[in-house]
Amino acid sequence: MSAPFLIGENMTGGYGAVDILHDCTLAVEPGEIAVIVGPNGAGKSTAMKAVFGMLKLRQGSVKLMGEDITSLSPQARVRKGMGFVPQTHNIFTGMTVEENLEMGAFIRQDDTIRDTMEQIYGLFPILKQKRYQKAGELSGGQRQQVAVGRALMTQPKVLMLDEPTAGVSPIVMDELFDRIIEIARTGISILMVEQNARQALDIADKGFVLVQGRNRYTDSGQALLADPDVRKSFLGG
């Protein structure tokens, strides 16, 4: 077997002396949607931060295309092809939609940034309509589109999303999931935390159930949805 495309392997660490993650492993392959679910406080966001280099690991490693990137800064990981949409504060509310996208391209020096922006407007047409509006004036779902669009501006190989559908209606959630599927079909890997566990596992190639910083279940999205124990404990029956 070849090395996984992106893997946070046996990650142990936390915010100080106390470990939040315990031997936690997350991985995703090209074009695959991997979903992380679990109760509040399970360490899902912490695990995402660890994979993106925002948390110092006491043990374990992060590897991208076989290369050990454990000691790289988040910025350096962006240059390697990683994009991250954090759970909160993921847009500049005082800037326009287009300025947000421009900010997303901060590491790029080529002259095709405009083309990427048009692709993002193709994916999220409402953003083109509202491109000169302040991002803070948009609806919750539209803001999440700005956040995802901003991360796509670096043309990442892997897109990490922490609760992209937080606070949006079921219809808007479905629409966002459709766009996420569309992004994955272009070959980009998606590593995503979701509160809407059922719906997210339904579109997931692979799912990770985390509890107290540990891997509890790992399987295909469909297998997890069909597992009576997973259903009872994490999917409301």
Ligand X SMILES: Nc1ncnc2c1ncn2[C@@H]1O[C@H](COP(=O)(O)OP(=O)(O)O)[C@@H](O)[C@H]1O
| Sign of the dihedral defined by the CA atoms of residues 60, 67, 103, 142, in that order | negative
Considering the rule CB under 6 A, would residue 43 count as an interface residue with ligand X? yes
- Burial (CB count within 10 angstroms: exposed 0-12, middle 13-18, buried 19+), residue 20: buried
Q: How far apart are CA 148 and CA 157, in angstroms?
A: 14
Considering the rule CB under 6 A, would residue 165 count as an interface residue with ligand X? no
> What are the tokens at 45?
């966001």
Residue 215 exposure: Cα atoms within 13 Å on the Cβ side: 16
| Closest C-alpha to 162, from 54, 77, 22 | 54
What lies within 8 Å, CB to CB, of 44 at 6+ separation is 36, 37, 38, 162, 193, 210
Pick the closer one to Mg ion by CB: 44 or 130. Answer: 44
Pick the closer one to ligand X by CB: 35 or 97. Answer: 35
Pick the closer one to ligand X by CB: 53 or 104. Answer: 53
Considering the rule CB under 6 A, would residue 45 count as an interface residue with ligand X? yes
The span of 40-48, 109-117, 145-153, 198-206 binding ligand X (CB under 6 A) equals 40-48
Q: Pick one of 45, 96, 100, 145: the residue that binds Mg ion (CB under 5 A).
A: 45
Pick the closer one to ligand X by CB: 9 or 162. Answer: 162
x/- mask, Mg ion, residues 138-177, rule CB under 5 A, reads: ----------------------------------------
Pick the closer one to Mg ion by CB: 43 or 60. Answer: 43
Considering the rule CB under 6 A, would residue 167 count as an interface residue with ligand X? no
Considering the rule CB under 5 A, would residue 100 count as an interface residue with Mg ion? no
Q: How far apart are CA 81 and CA 158, in angstroms?
A: 6
Say how many residues touch ligand X, by CB under 6 A: 10
Considering the rule CB under 6 A, would residue 41 count as an interface residue with ligand X? yes
